[in-house]
Amino acid sequence: MSLKTQQSKTLSGENVENAEFTLRPVAKWVRTAIIASVATTSAFSLHAQEANVTEEDQADVEVIDVVGTRKTIQDQIAIKRESTTVVDGLSSEDIGELPALSIGEALESITGAASHRENGGATEITIRGLGPFLSATHINGREATNGSGDRSVNFSQFPSELVKKVAIYKTQDASMIEGGVAGVISLETVQPLDYGKQRIQGEVKTNYNPDQANVDNSLQGDLGFRGTVSYVDQFEFDNGQALGISFGMQRQDISQPEAEYRSSSPTGSSLWACLNDPTNTNEGFYRSSAGDCEDQVSGSSNQGYDTAIDPETGEAVSAGSPYAWTGSSRSYRQNETSDERDALFLALQFQPSESWDINFDAQVSDRTQQESRHDLIFLQKRAIPGLTGPTLVTNDVGGILHWEGQDRIESSGEQFSREENYRGYGLNIEHYATDALTVKLDLAYSKTSREELQISNRARTADRQSFSWDMGEYIPHFTVSDFDVTDISNYTDSLRTRIDRENTRDNEIKSARLDFEYILDSEVFTSVQAGLRTSELSFIQYGGSQGNGSRNEFTLDTANADALELLQSCQKDFPESDFLDAVSDGDLITNVDSDGNVIGGGSSWATYDNVCFSQAVVASQNGEFGYPDVEYENSGTIDVTEKTNSAYVMASYDTEMFNKFIRGNFGVRIVDTEVTSVGFRNSFDVVTDELGVISLVSGDSLERIEGGGDYTEVLPSFNLVVDYSDDILIRGGIYRGMSRADPSDLGYSRTFQTDDDLAPTSLADLLVGVNGSGNPDTQPLMSWNYDVAFEWYPNEDSIFAFGLYYKQFQGGFQQRTVLENFVIDGQEFALPVTNSVTTDEESDIFGLEASIAYRWDNGLGIKIGYNYADTDFEFEDSLYGDTFITDVDGNTTQLTAGIVDPASVPGFSEHVFSTQVYYQIGDLDTAIIYKYRSEYFQPYTSNGTRLRYVDEVGVWEARMSYKVNEHVRVKLEAINLFSAPKSQDYYVQGNLGEVNDYGPRLFAGVSLKY
């Protein structure tokens, strides 16, 4: 906006960047302006005050050029101090100056924020220990899409060098887009006219990962590259018009080394609680004949510990039986990796006159991740009589510490790639209709597309081998008997390749909003805001022959000379030295002879080129190598459309009461949402035989089916800030929040259950129910949220802030049977279908958080953030937890009596801690950062109803930069400095499921600024 308009608007009570900031008395304005000028806090520069200060007054103010880490912390303090809501954030005066290698790492430094790590970097962000599904993410005030099927955002998709500000709003007001119970994460890019100066910047970083130097990587070299260039400029015309342009682009080409130990996943068909009872020889580890421990010698298969309720006892069928957790396999995985990303951010700002401000912005990101995986797999469910049971050693939760038996060993491999493309566009038109009335129109579009391609290969031993394993400090170590895992000729049986295209998804959001703000001439109320918003979210996951994708499979069935020749023609040396060295207690595999003498050992095995292997197996079967197609009209397709209309009204106040200045706002937002979900199922015909018996016969075509749901919610909010003194604030906030179900859970798959045994003569007798997955009528999880905080600001470098919060949730997850209407052969039927629903169950979260920053005169400073939370929310595992079902009459019956305690809110950590110690003197700027997160529950990706725990972890980072001159700065940055691994437990803490070792990641670069 023009200077004249800025002056008018700011004096009327509007902060240029944050619409929540309201008018304060003139003395406060002047004081704030001087503080903002000294701190160079451009994100909250108050142009009206600068205009009112005379040139003589300005000459008396000593301007201190504060830069680097100190400047960043001053900005964080200013953002928190001047906001009406409870908010923490980071901003930078220049593009490319956010102190982090990714948006995820930047957000982690904010009090109460923590990340889930994938591929060694921060991805999904939790707020106050609460999972990402309870948060919302906005880019320039608009919803952002993602390719995961949920509502979280993978922040590694966006380069931090092209973002100007990141903030976390922990309380909300009525003007904010609904959707964040835990909070709202906001990313902002630069507005070039408001930026106010020309800037040309370039930065080149070299990436070196020490663990990568040990890998002969076919996808990426030892050194990675990250290059960024940006340009900001303004153009003023003789007719008073002004145009600003901001343009930035980045190319990243790096590796992401990762070494893994893995157990079978908790999907229900791979990981079982097998009975460990010496008196039971029909099943478990003491079965009378060799076989899988979850199968009975005489009786059912795939059973293990039976949690079903015995009607005679009211307890689980297997109640009282000891058990141990065992997966179908345990394995090591070596990875060759590559991560390529191209990003482009663009902003145009045009002011045709003093009363119009037009902004267009665009964000484009194309990312391709690739991995060449090499696995050594020990199959491990088979129990050998007299061996496996008597030698089994477990801990107190049933996690295995020592195992002995016989089973096949595999040398397997995968070639994986994921391509993700993000497009975000927005047009914002702001019109100052009068000195008091402002009208804003915002149009936005966001789309993310993701596709995964994978080759999965298998080569195994022809015979079962004898082996054992023992749990080390971090991972198991195996002992084999007279078997050389490095000899490719040992894996000539059952060669197989699978070629998959899966998780092909499109997530799109279109939105429009119209906002009004009217400045009031009042001693109490400063403005009234109101607005309307409409949006349409669409999510499509394309189906195929394997549900969420398609597969081509080829097998070379028997061990023969052709198999050995194929393996040898594709064989490659093991790609990595010192594999898993950071988490192992020595050799991963030890080879002993029949007398127990060690005859070999190491941490490698026979490997091969995955593409070569796959192509050779396909050719041996006279097949054609290629990735299969997915399709829209498929029974595995999920197609969800979510239409939302909302309206709000909010009043802001700024006055004096009891000799204290107070400011804030109160309002209400009304949200109406309608969900439509489309699915496909096989067509059918109603057939009547000569006896009048009716049956359903499946046809050859697919028919389109549709379901839906809706809800309307009222979301009031109230925010209060009391200026208790010049340097002390007391802050409070109350709001009602909502978090919607993930789009992938709103699908609509339905097939009929029929009773053909009773010779039905009518459809009413034939149809007994519906098998279904996905529930488009899932209601949101609602909460009342209360915050109070005390904040002391001794100076622009210091803050001592302490807050308490309480959240009362209304909603849980439970299986419930409801009636749904279906039209069959022209008749309408109400049939029961059982699905997951949101219940009315209430639970609470209590928490406290603290932010402390202080700087000494010698250049040493510290910043500390801590969050503690406690909750009684319970999430039951669907296989080994207590599960219930509610029938159509509202009667609830317990189905299973579980053996694992319920988890908490997905993503919930009791403790989140971050600290930063920095030393900045002259042109040298250094910082050491430590980030800690206690253990948390992360639902298993392919089955969101199974428990998976990520263990506590503390990660160190370091940064250093030196300003050579006003144009050149050199930088050194390190992530995961001391190689902290990520460890995960399945079903229960203490049952190790996976360990990922990433190693440190180092970046060195130089930036140029003109």
Distance CA 391, CA 402 (A): 7
Helix, coil or strand: residue 620: helix
**Residue 260: exposed, middle, or buried by beta-carbon count in 10 A (0-12, 13-18, 19+)?**
buried
Handedness of CA 133, 137, 142, 145 (dihedral sign): negative
The answer to whether the CB of 453 falls within 8 A of the CB of 501 is yes
Helix, coil or strand: residue 899: coil
Distance CA 47, CA 42 (A): 10
pLDDT of the residue at 56: 41
Nearest residue to 337 via CA among 567, 118, 572, 568: 118
> Which residue spans within 380-436 are E strands per DSSP?
382-383, 393-394, 400-407, 409-432
Nearest residue to 352 via CA among 228, 235, 205, 516: 235
Residues in contact with 954: Cβ distance below 8 Å, sequence separation at least 6, in sequence order: 930, 931, 932, 933, 980
Task: State the Cα angle at 578 between 574 and 580, rounded to 5°.
Answer: 95
CA separation (Å) from 129 to 139, 254, 871? Answer: 22, 30, 10
* Share in percent of the chain as helix, strand, coil (round to 5): 10, 55, 35
pLDDT of the residue at 55: 42
Alpha-carbon Rg for the chain in angstroms? 31
Instruction: Please count the other Cβ atoms lying within 10 Å of the Cβ belonging to residue 297.
Output: 12
Distance CA 770, CA 820 (A): 9
Task: State the Cα angle at 860 between 855 and 863, rounded to 5°.
Answer: 55
Q: Which residue has the tokens 């902290």?
A: 980
**Residue 273: exposed, middle, or buried by beta-carbon count in 10 A (0-12, 13-18, 19+)?**
buried
DSSP string, 124-143: EEEETTB-GGGEEEEETTEE
Residue type, 278: P
Q: Within 13 Å and on the Cβ side, how many CA atoms surround 647? A: 1
Distance CA 449, CA 447 (A): 7
pLDDT of the residue at 26: 33
| Backbone phi and psi for residue 76, each to the nearest 5 degrees, phi listed first | -60, -45
Instruction: Please count the other Cβ atoms lying within 10 Å of the Cβ belonging to residue 755.
Output: 12
Task: Report residues of the chain scoring pLDDT below 50.
Answer: 1-63
Distance CA 786, CA 1001 (A): 40
Distance CA 602, CA 586 (A): 8
Buried b (16+ CB within 10 A) or exposed e, 715-744: bebbbbbbbeeeeebebbbbbbbbbbbbbb
Residue 223: its H or E element:
strand 223-236
pLDDT of the residue at 842: 85
The answer to whether the CB of 735 falls within 8 A of the CB of 785 is yes
| Backbone phi and psi for residue 160, each to the nearest 5 degrees, phi listed first | -65, -25
Nearest residue to 668 via CA among 717, 712, 713: 717
